Amino acid sequence: MWRLGERKREVQSFEGKTAVLVELGLTVSEARVYLALVQMGVSRIGSVSEVTGIHRANLYSTLSSLENKCLIEKEINSPATYKAASPEITLPMLVKRKQTQVFELKTKAEAMAVSLSSKQSWMDAVKESGKEKAMFVVVPGREVIVNRLKRLLQESQVSVDVVTTQKRFSSAILDFAKDYKKALDRGVKIRITIEKNLMDQAAIDMVRMLAANPSFEVKCLSSAADAVVSIIDEQQATVMMSSVAHLDGTSALWSNNECFVAIVKNYFESKWSSTVKLQI
């Protein structure tokens, strides 16, 4: 049988695994005690306390919680002893519980999003009942930017004009494919200007499919875009704060201000007039 000092050194080597168990739903104390019992085998509370550094008075509630979670077993002895359930059983069980929690949280979040969106739509309708004011909005972060651009595309009725980088376009053409198709079906004219570069095959195939509709055009710049912009129905414009290929860590400026939209539109037209049709 190992000496207590040897057990303690072995348990200390498990400390890096504590964070994983915490992510799976255990408290730090529960994770430390479970890992200690995995290493020590059947043990009395005094030994667990000495190895983990957790006071005996605090261990009882931790051990009881681990029992309730089916992670350890209590053997009725005098004094009582404890042993860990097999990690091959407990870890998949914890993962499954976490997945269930995430699914439930996702369901709640989706329901909340519908509820809040309905409220937001009602507020927007109230605002639109009067004269719409010109606004400037800073849109932070990749996900928020993508979601806003997708919503603007879905709401478009007349035209969508874009100047972008090849890397961003290769990603967007796949992410927005269904929305592009629906926009084209309702008669929206889409013009996209990108820098002349190679695209991956999936993006090329998607462009070919969309280009079957004459209202979808893609042209190439001879050099990198000075700015990445989009204009929807000549009434709203978005300008990225950075023209680098990725969106992570950047933000965008959206506005329905007439002067702002006109400036962005003129920039697009100047680029469009100096491009050549994308050959695919």
Q: Do the Cβ atoms of 185 and 212 come closer than 8 Å?
A: no
Q: Do the Cβ atoms of 75 and 82 come closer than 8 Å?
A: yes
Residue 171 lies in a domain: yes
Same structural domain, 181 and 268: yes
**Pairwise pLDDT comparison (122 vs 97), residue with the higher score:** 97
Residue 37 lies in a domain: yes
Same structural domain, 227 and 146: yes
Residue 98 lies in a domain: no
In 3D space, the residue among 73, 93, 81 whose CA is nearest the CA of residue 21 turns out to be 93
**Which pLDDT score is estimated for 7?**
54
Q: How confident is the model at residue 117 (pLDDT cuts 50, 70, 90)?
A: low
When divided into structural domains, the chain yields a total of 2
Same structural domain, 50 and 165: no
What is the arithmetic mean of pLDDT over 39-62? 90
C-alpha distance from residue 257 to each of 155, 222, 280 (Å): 18, 30, 37
Residue 99 lies in a domain: no
Same structural domain, 23 and 73: yes
Give the domain CATH number at 77.
1.10.10.10
- Tokens read off for 234: 């000549």
Residue 36 lies in a domain: yes
Give the domain CATH number at 149.
3.30.870.10
CA distance 180 to 184: 6
C-alpha distance from residue 254 to each of 20, 74, 197, 222, 258 (Å): 41, 61, 27, 27, 12
Q: What is the pLDDT of residues 234-257, one digit of tens each?
A: 999 999 987 664 556 678 899 999
Residue 141 lies in a domain: yes
DSSP string computed for 19-52:
HHHHHTT--HHHHHHHHHHHHH-SEEHHHHHHHH
- Tokens read off for 213: 């509709």
Same structural domain, 59 and 142: no
Share of the chain above pLDDT 90, in %: 44
**Which pLDDT score is estimated for 9?**
57
Residue 104 lies in a domain: no
Residue 125 lies in a domain: no
Domain, as residue range, for 235: 133-277
Same structural domain, 42 and 167: no
Same structural domain, 65 and 161: no
- CA dihedral for 6, 10, 11, 13, sign (positive or negative): positive
Same structural domain, 80 and 177: no
Q: How confident is the model at residue 34 (pLDDT cuts 50, 70, 90)?
A: very high
Alpha-carbon dihedral of residues 173, 179, 184, 189, nearest 10 degrees? -70
